[in-house]
Chains A and B, each alone.
Chain A
Amino acid sequence: MLAVKATGCARTELQKDPTVTTQDASHSQANSLTKMQTGLNVSSPEPMTTTRTVNRQTQGSPSDHLTFGHNVSVPGPDLTTQEFKQETKEHVSNATFVEYEILLPGVSGTSTEKNITLDRATRIELSCRLDNKYSHLKSLQVTWKWGNETLRHINKTENSWGIQLRIWDNSQLGSYSCTLKGEEEMHAVFHLQVPKIEGKEKPIVSYEGDTAVMICKSYGYTPTAWTWYMTNGSEQVAINDSLLADKYVINRVSANVTHLKILKLTKEDDGIYWCEAGFELGKSKGKLKLKVLSLMVPLKPFLAIVAEVIVLVTVVFLYEIYSKKKEKCAADEKEFDQIEQLKSEESNGLENSSTRHRKI
């Protein structure tokens, strides 16, 4: 499979320098070997590959080495336009290996972009696969770019074009894109980034003299270090909890969680805070807002509600007194009427009863 890739490599690579071609033939073999080793075996024999690349370099090929990991200790001026940082070989050899693929031209509605989160040194293979419906297209030019730079060593299989990368540094992250030019142009982008830290959108509300605790969590990836910053004007100042131990306490509650406790809050503590998680491949920040209020702020609604309750209770009691008075008046009136009636009955006495009888 890889042999196919290698030959494909030789064919589809854009050759700028004609002198390279002949050399490339031999290179391609070397390439294929190195690719075999770096691509599949995690524990590839480093020295072998290094020497090969050294060989290549001395022959002065301007080929872009997509397998960045090799040339750590060898300063090659024309190796690539990118800089390689010193990195221990162990890191690279123990790195994880991941593969990502985007299908082109893509189903309508799905984006031809992929976000890949990396927190540590990784060997990664990115490939753009052409949909089988379009496999009839012949003359396809495939370009892989990183930012503005074109990458050369493309692995081609039947319908997919891929690149292999070794990421061990923050500078290697970014957007890698592949473009398939034929009758139509198809484009796909892979965004390589560090894990994002989410802060809190809603501000944390606290009061003067009180303690506030701000929490930052990393989901899935364990950072190597946590740092807290506060915003002073327009710049971010790191919080040193050992220096101001009675004001700030930074606590790493667990591997993925950090707490910043601010004691004796004042109005000046109001503002934006950042928690920064350091990963192997870079740093990521989360934003938190702190609001410091004075006690007067909730006191106003409190007093308003208490006043409302007092008013309601008074109204209820007043209504009760009023209705009781009304009752009493009505009852008194009724009794008065009844007494009157009785008196009149007594006075009329037999007359009335006889009239009643007569009526009945």
Chain B
Amino acid sequence: MYPLLCRTPQSGFSVKSRLTMSPPVPSDLGYVPPDGGWGWAVVFGASISVGFAYTFPKAFTIYFKELQAVYSISYSQIAWITSIMCATTYGGGPISSILVNRYGSRPVVIFGGLLCGIGMVSAAFCTSILQLYICVGFITGFGLALNLQPSVIIIGKYFLKRRPIANGLAMAGSPVMLCTLAPLNQFLFDNFGWRGSFLILGAILLHCCVAGALFRPIGAPTPPVKPQVTGKGKDALKEEVTEDAMEMGSPTKVPMEDKVEEEGGKACCEKINQYLDFSLFKHRGFLIYLIGNVLMFLGFFAPIVFLAPYAKHIGIDEYSAAFLLSILAIVDMIARPTTGIIANSKWVRPQIQYFFSFSIAFNGTCHLLCPLASGYTGLVIYAIFFGLAFGMVCAMLFETLMDLVGAARFTSAVGLVTIAECCTILLGPPIGGTLIDTFGDYKYMFIKCGAVMVLAGTFLFIMNYYNYRMLAKEEKERKAKEENPKPVRTENEGRNSWNKETTRDGPELEPLSKEQEGLKEEVNGINEV
């Protein structure tokens, strides 16, 4: 383990600036992420948060029958609860991003956990379905939103070299939580009825606060007053110290500097951008990711929703149909960390976008082949492959976004992406349901999902090929400019200016191998992949 925990980033910088003359930071974070140590505790906390956020709506469906009877409402009315919950979880992304940008991950997650708990506890005392919509749908959903985004964001702050593994492990929390929450919900319901269950679930959701407590802020925003060891690097150190402070805890200070320089017209945009980086919409990689993912989510969740009904439709009994979903969850659980490890390997990581597009296309192919599966054995094979593909895509979902926009802008990026995906995620299953009702056959739904995902995968593959080439070109230009020392200075200082955003993200992608070598040099030459 690196002795980084005892050594503040600032001193690390002074060391680096003395050793190499290249730009002091390989990533745009402003410091070297620990890639271990307390990071693993953060990963554990993130997996809890992510698990709750993704699986709580699914596990909640156990209460539908009872609530339907008590409030005398139809199934579609009761299903609104989970729809509102999902919509709020994804739609609350931008707000989550703004809050994280302002306050950091930890307070936001703790507040989110409290909100979830309050939402469920108040739901236990509801007397009408409308109150349930508000308590369970909005309040708990928003609490989960405040859990999901910060958990993913903080992984980017603690990991760089091992980030795909960390992402894979954190996302693996989802199937693990599903396997525990579903039987737990059933147990609670049998023993305490729905009101008591909601009360206890509220307490269980408070564990998100524990996860939040684990999210130690990294990179101290205030530079500690220390006697400078070397007189030489003193000035350089001060510069970097102030830049660090701006980079980590509060990027608000960054534009303030710029504001002083370019006052007036841009002040308003800057202010909005400090909270939510709308300039990302000019970012090529971000746009590619956004379009590809929005398309993909149209066909992502529908097959899971309809797998059990499809199995029952072709004559399989209820328990075997439920077992199919368990198989899916178990394969998913194993696939996610494995994908993380594969994505972290030196062959895949530089081309991680291709791996992502491949897994989406693989997922789509599974769906296209599903109607050919006959009988229970065929469906079991389909469930295994589907679980594998689903795990692969989920594990890399946020990793690829981090890879494209960099960890600093990831905060805003994830918020914008989730609110855009929100629409298609919600539309996916109802469209599938309409197809099934219209044609009376499940195969059209599978064909639609498969086609959409293969299309999304192909689109991402082609566009990322184009993106890699453009990045390589820009990197070459940047290297050519670097021959000249002057532009280097302006580049470093203007690092945070919005103009140089496209070139800035270069280091993240193509020259990652060089970056790794650079890191190796700096960190005792330990050979780590």
Interface, chain A (partner B; CB < 8 A): 202, 204-207, 210-213, 215, 259, 293, 297-299, 301-303, 305-306, 309, 312-313, 316-317, 320, 323, 326-327, 330-331, 334-335, 338-339, 342
Contacts and interface: CB of A to CB of B under 8 A. Distances in A.
Contacts of B227: 335, 339
Contact of A207 (B193, B209, B214, B226): B193
A261 B204 CA distance: 31
A302 B8 CA distance: 41
A335 B227 CA distance: 8
Contacts of A215: 69
Contacts of A202: 190
B203 interface: yes
A313 B209 contact: yes
A297 to B, nearest CB: 7
A327 B202 CA distance: 37
Given A213-B70, A306-B203, A316-B213, A298 B196 contact: yes
12 contacts: A202-B190, A205-B190, A205-B192, A205-B193, A207-B196, A259-B69, A298-B192, A298-B195, A298-B197, A331-B6, A334-B6, A338-B229
B213 A207 contact: no
Contacts of B202: 302
Nearest to A213: B69
Contact of B213 (A206, A212, A317, A327): A317
Given A298-B199, A298-B200, A306 B193 contact: no
Contact of A210 (B195, B199, B213, B216): B195
Q: Which of B192, B202, B214 has the largest count of A CB atoms less than 10 A from its CB?
A: B192
B69 A302 contact: no
A206 B213 CA distance: 36
A261 to B, nearest CB: 9
Interface residues of B, number: 28
Given A207-B195, A330-B6, 4 more contacts: A205-B191, A293-B192, A309-B206, A335-B229
Main SS of chain A's interface residues?
helix
A165 to B, nearest CB: 35
B5 interface: yes
Contact of B196 (A205, A211, A303, A309): A205
A334 B192 CA distance: 58
B282 interface: no
Given A299-B199, A312-B213, A305 B193 contact: no
B207 interface: yes
B120 to A, nearest CB: 10
Contacts of A207: 193, 195-196
A213 B70 CA distance: 6
Contacts of B5: 323, 327
Contacts of B190: 202, 205
A211 B200 CA distance: 20
B283 to A, nearest CB: 35
B266 interface: no
Contacts of A313: 209-210, 213
B441 to A, nearest CB: 26
B216 A320 contact: yes
Interface in B167-200: 190-193, 195-197, 199-200
A323 B216 CA distance: 12
Contacts of B207: 309, 312
Contacts of B216: 320
B232 interface: no
Contacts of B193: 204-207, 293
